[in-house]
């Protein structure tokens, strides 16, 4: 049984209908000007930290090559975001694994409480 959505997708694929126009954004910026400035500073510091290095977490799903930074203490504040003592070079798979396996991450030391 083909649903209306599936019929529409088939028509799009075959060029029988045109895609709907995207709705203009509401004017709300994705990040504030203050956070954008922090993000620029962070980008300058973080890329050399992980670029071309192996993943330090090595979870069961590890790809081996770092693709970014894992923040052991989180990154809610500028101080937490920029504190290199809590940075680890990590692949995206390991970073996601740490977030979904909290008990394992805390046991291995990959998550530190923000409250201590």
Read off the pLDDT of residues 7-61 as tens digits, 9 standing for 90 and up. 888 888 888 888 777 666 677 888 899 999 999 999 999 999 999 999 999 999 9
**How many helices and strands in the chain, by DSSP H and E?**
5, 2
Dihedral sign from CA coordinates of 51, 54, 57, 62: positive
Give the residue extent of every domain in the chain: 53-110
Q: What is the pTM of this model?
A: 0.70
């Amino acid at each position: 049984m083909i649903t209306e959505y599936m019929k529409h997708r088939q028509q799009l694929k075959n060029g029988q209908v045109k895609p709907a126009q995207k709705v203009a954004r509401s004017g709300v910026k994705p990040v504030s000007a203050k956070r954008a400035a922090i993000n620029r500073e962070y980008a300058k510091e973080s890329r050399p930290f992980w670029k071309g290095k192996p993943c330090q977490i090595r979870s069961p799903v590890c790809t081996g090559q770092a693709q970014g930074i894992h923040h052991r203490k989180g990154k809610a504040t500028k101080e937490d975001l920029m504190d290199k003592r809590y940075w680890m070079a990590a692949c995206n798979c390991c970073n996601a694994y740490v977030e979904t396996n909290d008990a394992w991450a805390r046991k291995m030391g990959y998550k530190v409480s923000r409250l201590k």
